[in-house]
Structures are given as structure tokens and as C-alpha cells.
Amino acid sequence: MTINSTSQPINITFPLPSDQLLHLIQFNVYRAFISIKRTINTISLDPTTCPVFGPCLDDTTRYPPNPNIPSSLAPTALQLSQYHFPWINIMPFARFRDNLIRREGRFDNFELWRDMVGDLMSYTAAPWQRGTPFSFSTSATEPEESQGLMLEDYIDTDELTAGRNGLIIWGEPHDMHSWEATPGFLTKWSWAVEGCEELVEIGNRWRTRRGAEPMRLSRRH
């Protein structure tokens, strides 16, 4: 495909190379998160900071839920009762959000963000975002030990997901059925997606559409 610009034509060959495809996937996820923040009336405190993970005011944690907020984004009891970083509220899976809140201060936020949006996080890395867990609450209870969500071991050969620990967005950001989690993401962040078996089911629908091998929950789960 050729794109004509004011300078000279730009030739783009499909399918995209693996590295370009990854950047496109992560950029779409980034845009989806911004869309969700607008949906839940999240207001950025500083226009020069990251519009997704930067400091902000979040109506959903301070006022009664807006009845127009999609059910997938409606705040849980834990969101309404425990202080936490507002970026957690943009995840369209309630159990995922609660798991993040329970572990807040005990995992590397920046590493999780990088897995989801890649190098788009390079320009928003405050010191507390790199390698040092950070939490709003100093009284969070220690979560019970668990194995998390466990997948059967297999070699992922799908070109969209193999070797990647991230998410893919295919439709409306607020709709949980628009999201696909890679096997690598579900394995690496198994504690965060504990109880989110629907992520496996939804992911398999997208994988089946393109002829990829479906994921399977471990029998030990």
C-alpha cells in the first residue's frame, strides 16, 4: 500500500513486520485506556503527564457511580472503600481491579504498564514507577497466598501473541469481550488475573477466529 504525503510516497507492506505490529497493538491499547478514562469521567491533574497512568482526579472513587458507566467499569465495593491509584479503574475486569488493589505496593506498576503499552511508557517514568512498588495505602492487608490463574504448559506459535506479555484490543474499550490477553500475560501476571477465567474464554474466541491454538486452564487450577 502507498500513502501519498506532501513530501514523498510512503510504501507500507502487509503483513507488518513483527516489531511494527507490536507497536501498533500497544498503541491501540494505549488509546483504548484513554477512551476508558474519558468514559469514567477521569480528569487529568496535569496535561503534561501521561494521560493514562499520570496523576488524576477520578469521580468513580469519590462519588456514587454514574448510572451511565458501563457495567464492566462500575466500581467494586473495594474500589469505593480503599484508596488506590486511579489508573487501576481503567481495567474493564472487576476481579482484575480488585486483585491489583489488594496487591498495591507489592508489585512493580511500571513493569505492568510496560507490558501493556510498551515504549509509550518511556516518557512517564517517575522514580517511583521503576522497580519500586508504590501504594496510596499503608494499611493494606497482606493478600492470602494463592497460585493465581494457571494455564497448561504449551508452546504458543501464534504470531500475534507468541513471546508477548500484553493485551490486544479488538473493539469497544469498555466491553470486556473486546480484549484479548496473551498467554504470556496471563502466566506472568497470574496473581493479578486470579478469578478472571473469562479472560481465557474471551481470548480463545479471538484465537479461534484466526486459527490459533486455544489456551487451556491447568487441571491444578
pLDDT, tens only, 93-129: 999 999 999 998 899 888 999 999 987 765 454 554 5
Look at residue 6 in the predicted model and tell me its pLDDT.
45
- How many degrees, rounded to 5, is the angle at CA 148 between CA 175 and CA 113? 55
pLDDT, tens only, 42-91: 655 555 555 555 555 555 555 555 667 888 998 899 988 888 888 899 99
- The set of residues, in sequence order, having a beta carbon less than 8 Å from that of 185 and lying 6+ positions away, is 115, 164, 165, 166, 167, 193
Q: Average pLDDT, whole number, for the chain?
A: 77
Evaluate if residue 204 carries a pLDDT over 90.
yes
pTM above 0.85, yes or no: no
Angle at which helices 109-117 and 18-39 cross, to 10°: 110
